[in-house]
Amino acid sequence: MRILATLLLFCFSTLSLAAEPDLENLLWNDPDTPAMGAEKPRLTLVSFTDYNCPYCKQFDPELEKIVQKFPDVKLVVKLLPFRSESSANSARIALTAWRQQPQQYWDLHHRLMSKKGYHDDASILAAQQKTGTAAIKADEKSGETLQMNLILAQVLGVQGTPATLVGKTMVPGAIPYDDLEALVKEELAKQDAQ
C-alpha cells in the first residue's frame, strides 16, 4: 500500500493540490464516490465501471449480490468514463446525484446500468426523470471526482472496465459470480488469519 500511496502522491503533486490528502481514503472512503454495504467493512470491493460498458452492465448486479450476501463487505463504485463522451456525461450526472440526492442515486445507477447500448443525452434524461433526479445538472465537483478516478485507475493499471479491486487483488473484466464469491471468501479468510 505504501507504493500505491507514493504513486498517488506523485500524481497529486503534479496536479498542485495544496495538502497531502489521505490517499488510501480516496480509493476506499471518498465521500464523493458512491458506496453501499458495511459501514465498517472487513473487506472493500472497488469497482471501476462505465455506464456504456456492456460487461459492466452484466457484472454490476453480481457485485451488489455479494454485498447483500456478505454483510461485512462494502462496495465502492468508481465511475470510469472510458467509452465515450456520453460515458462522462452519465457519470457526472450520477456523481452529482450521489452528493445532492443520495437516497435516489442507486435508482439512477440501476436505470443507467440497465439500458442496452450506449447512452445519449435523451436516455440520460429519461433515467433521471424516472428516478426523480431530473433537476440535477452535472457540477464541477463531479468532474473533479472523475479526474481522480482516472488517476487512480492509471496508477492501479486499470486498462478497461469492469475492473474490480477485491481487497488487494485486481480482477480485470467480468468474472462468473461463483468465482467472485470464492475470491471474496478467500480475502475474508485472509483477514481472519491476520
**CA 144 from centroid of its chain's CA atoms:** 14
Return the CATH fold of 2-183: Glutaredoxin (3.40.30)
Picking from 75, 48, 52, the residue whose alpha carbon sits closest to that of residue 64 is 75
User: Cell 462494502 sits at which residue?
Assistant: 74
- Cell digits of residue 174: 467480468
| Number of C-beta neighbours around residue 46 at 10 A | 24
In tens, the pLDDT along 129-181 reads 999 999 999 999 999 999 999 999 998 999 999 999 998 899 999 999 999 99
Domain boundaries, the chain: 2-183
Share the mean pLDDT of the chain: 88
Beta-strand (E) ranges in 20-149? 35-37, 43-49, 73-79
